[in-house]
């Protein structure tokens, strides 16, 4: 089974569905991740110190390496970087519809995971909507099931009316946490906000689905 994961920035796929990626990889399924931007506009160290952003070339190279190391831990077969400019995301993304369509036609995925179309982050919404547009027009043997995820938000309202699917990640939650540790450029964000809240959310979703940890997805 071929599975494609589309993420706006490095670490989005781990935060949103890292446990599921590891679970599928462990079961022998081939998971390929497509990352739109290197996220060179996100430097929490510079932000907290109130200084100009670090060298974007350095951040681009470093975040790509972090993503590759994390994907190896999860068992991802391949990572495809599209190289959108982080601070020109909205301007660049519509130039990528052809390559997204080509990727879909090449891999013929049975399942696609991506951001929610009403995610609070504008780049996440852009990715979700472009992926859906490309799936609708791609030449596929069969339309894949589309599952969307949110990166934790205190106002978790995205797609609340859509059917939900809970995936038990109790056996791969530790792998997800290990993969997140490779994103050292984002350590302050992850340690102080995302990682503890994601862990809490995965625990809550596990409680709802009667397991230790789970990730929830919305069918689209």
Q: What's the pLDDT at 64?
A: 92
Note the pLDDT tens digit of each residue in 135-178: 999 999 999 999 999 886 655 555 556 789 999 999 999 999 99
Note the pLDDT tens digit of each residue in 26-51: 999 999 999 999 876 655 554 444 44
pLDDT at 10 over 90: yes
Domain residue limits, the chain: 2-219
Residue among 171, 181, 159, 180 nearest 206 (CA): 171
CA distance 214 to 166: 6
Answer for the pair 33, 79: CB distance below 8 angstroms, yes or no.
Answer: yes
Mean pLDDT of 108-116: 97
pLDDT at 185 over 90: no
Note the pLDDT tens digit of each residue in 53-91: 566 677 888 889 999 999 999 999 999 999 999 888 999
Answer for the pair 8, 123: CB distance below 8 angstroms, yes or no.
Answer: yes
Answer for the pair 76, 176: CB distance below 8 angstroms, yes or no.
Answer: no
Percent of the chain with pLDDT over 90: 70
98, containing H or E segment = helix 97-107
Average pLDDT, the chain: 89
Residues 6+ apart with CB under 8 A from 189: 42, 44
CA distance 49 to 32: 36
* Cβ-based neighbour number of residue 133 at 10 Å: 14
Looking at CATH, the fold of the domain delimited by 2-219 is given as Rossmann fold (3.40.50)
Sheet of 145-149, strand order: 78-84, 30-37, 2-7, 111-115, 145-149, 214-219, 164-168
Residues 6+ apart with CB under 8 A from 70: 10, 11, 14, 18, 179, 180, 182, 183
Answer for the pair 67, 5: CB distance below 8 angstroms, yes or no.
Answer: no
């Amino acid at each position: 089974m071929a599975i494609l994961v589309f993420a706006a920035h490095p670490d989005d796929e781990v935060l949103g569905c890292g446990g599921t990626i590891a679970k599928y990889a462990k079961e022998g399924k081939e998971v390929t991740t497509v990352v739109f931007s290197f996220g060179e506009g996100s430097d929490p160290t510079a932000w907290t110190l109130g200084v100009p952003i670090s060298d974007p070339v350095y951040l681009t190279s470093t975040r790509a390496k972090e993503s590759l190391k994390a994907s190896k831990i999860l068992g991802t077969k391949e990572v495809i970087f599209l190289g959108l400019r982080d601070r020109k995301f909205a301007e660049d993304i519509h130039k990528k519809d052809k390559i997204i369509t080509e990727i879909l036609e090449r891999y013929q995925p049975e399942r696609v995971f991506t951001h929610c179309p009403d995610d609070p982050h504008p780049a996440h919404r852009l990715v979700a909507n472009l992926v859906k547009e490309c799936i609708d027009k791609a030449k596929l043997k069969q339309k894949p099931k589309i599952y969307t995820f949110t990166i934790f938000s205190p106002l978790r309202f995205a797609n609340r009316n859509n059917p939900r699917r809970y995936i038990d990640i109790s056996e791969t939650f530790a792998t997800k946490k290990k993969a997140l540790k490779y994103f050292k450029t984002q350590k302050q964000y992850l340690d102080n906000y995302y990682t503890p809240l994601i862990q809490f959310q995965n625990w809550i979703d596990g409680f709802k689905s009667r397991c230790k940890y789970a990730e929830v997805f919305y069918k689209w």
